Amino acid sequence: MEKLNLLVKKIIGKGHEIALYNKNSDLQAIEEAKQNIEEVTGKIVRGIRQKEVSVSIEDLKNLEFTYISNIENANILFSLKRLERSTQILQKHGLSIIPESISPYSQIPYNDFVFQAVPLPYYKSMVLETIKNDDFVVVYLNTWQFTDFSKYQFKIPFYRKFNSGRKMDDKLETFLQWMNEENLAFSRMKDFIF
């Protein structure tokens, strides 16, 4: 846990926002993780990302989250489903529900692994086409992607180690510089919504 805490502090120190990712945790585990991160960083964790809505909006509101970004489940017909999807940010029980960003032409979602694996010139094209179509793009990354796996031995599948650590840090820095050069506004989620 100490390794993860050091990594989270480093990311916060660079000005990034930390949110939680719920794969299949119960409410108590989410509450404990939120409290731990807040104690380590001294920052409020405002957001949570869920693949399947396993925790109710009311419960997340009680934990003082302010936004939820649910990942759309993909099946064989995912591309047809996504062509008709809404990109409107909704309000439910005082929480902002942020839709997952998906490239309108390639139908590739903006998840953590896509940023890590897709070559940056193609990713930039995805961002431009999505901004033209939806007016915004939500980009998510995971803390472990910035880990030096030769130094910290987290259990991660081998393909997830591709372009991680310093390479990921450099890629993100290059991407943010490009956003500045293109005069594309960007912000942390908490600043975008509130």
pLDDT range class, residue 142, cuts 50, 70, 90:
confident
pLDDT over 70 percentage in the chain:
87
| Cβ(157)–Cβ(163) below 8 Å | no
Per-residue pLDDT, averaged over 41-63, amounts to 84
pTM recorded for the entire structure: 0.72
**Minimum mean pLDDT among 68-72, 76-80, 98-102, 189-193: which range?**
76-80
**Domain segments of the chain: what residues?**
1-100, 103-189
pLDDT in tens, 158-169: 777 788 888 988
pLDDT in tens, 173-188: 999 999 999 998 887 7
Q: What is the DSSP letter of 70?
A: E
Distance CA 49, CA 186 (A): 19
Tell me the DSSP string of 91-154. EETTEEEPPPPB-TTT--B--HHHHHHS-HHHHHHHHHHHHHHHS-------GGGG--TTTS--
Angle at 121 between CA 116 and CA 134, to 5 degrees: 85
